[in-house]
Amino acid sequence: MKLTTLSKTQLRRVFHKKVAKYVSQHDPYRFYLIDYKTDDCFYTHTYENGKLLGSGQGEYELFDLGISGAVMEVKYNNIVSSPNPESPMHPDNSFYPKLKKYLVGPFYTQALDLNSKWQPILYQHLQKEKAFKVLNFYDRDLFDNRSL
C-alpha cells in the first residue's frame, strides 16, 4: 500500500469538511469525537456505551514541512480524564503532562478524497505503545450537531 503525506492545506480542508472519530485503545466501548475547527481550536467528546461522558477542548497549530508533510502541535486546555491508568488521559499516566503541548504527525493517507463519507488518516504519535495511530474522519453531516 502506497501512502502519501498530507500538507497543511490538505489537512485544513479535511478539518473543514469532516469530524474525527477515534476508538479507545483501552476500552472497546469508548470512543472520541474530535472536531478540529478552522479557527485552530478543537473539541473532544468522550462517549462510552453511546453516552457522552464529557467534553474537552484545546488548540492546535499546523506546520508544513514541505515534502515531509504537515505536523500538528496540540495543546489541551481542558481534559476529560480517563479512569484507565494505561490511558494517556489518566492523570497518573506518564504522557498526561505532555497533553499541555506535544507534536503529532506527519499525516498520511492512501488517497485523499474529500467527497468520500469516510477518510482514514494515519499519523505518527509520541506515545510509547504505538508509533502510528489512525484517525477516521467522517462527513460532518453524519453527526447530530448536538454531539459536536
Residue 20, domain extent: 4-137
Answer yes or no: are the C-beta atoms of 101 and 73 closer than 8 Å.
yes
Does the residue 148 lie in any domain? Answer: no
What would the mean pLDDT of 95-118 be, rounded to a whole number?
87
| Measured distance CA(49)–CA(128) in Å, rounded | 27
Does the residue 145 lie in any domain? Answer: no
pLDDT higher at 26 or 20: 20
Does the residue 15 lie in any domain? Answer: yes
Asked whether residue 23 carries a pLDDT value surpassing 80, the answer given is: yes
Q: Pick from 112, 117, 139, 130: which is nearest to 6 by CA?
A: 112
User: Across the chain, what does the average pLDDT equal?
Assistant: 87
What per-residue confidence (pLDDT) applies to 130? 62
| Measured distance CA(33)–CA(15) in Å, rounded | 12
Does the residue 144 lie in any domain? Answer: no
Asked whether residue 77 carries a pLDDT value surpassing 60, the answer given is: yes
The domain that holds 65 is classified in CATH as 2.40.128
What per-residue confidence (pLDDT) applies to 65? 92
pLDDT digits (tens, 9 = 90+) for 52-69: 988 999 999 999 999 899
pLDDT higher at 134 or 95: 134
What would the mean pLDDT of 81-110 be, rounded to a whole number?
82
Does the residue 50 lie in any domain? Answer: yes
State the total domains in the chain: 1
